[in-house]
Amino acid sequence: MTGPLGLDPALLEILACPDTHHSPLEVDEAAGELLCTTCDRAFPVRDGIPVLLLDEARHRSEGDPTS
Could you tell me the fold of the domain covering 4-59? Answer: N-terminal domain of TfIIb (2.20.25)
Domain extents in the chain:
4-59
What's at 59, amino acid-wise?
H
How far apart, in whole angstroms, are the C-alpha atoms of residue 21 and residue 31? Answer: 23
Give the pLDDT confidence of 27-66 residue by residue, as tens digits.
999 999 999 989 999 999 999 899 999 999 999 886 554 4
pLDDT of residue 63: 55
What phi, psi does 12 have (nearest 5°)? -60, -30
pLDDT of residue 49: 93
pLDDT of residue 65: 47
pLDDT of residue 15: 95
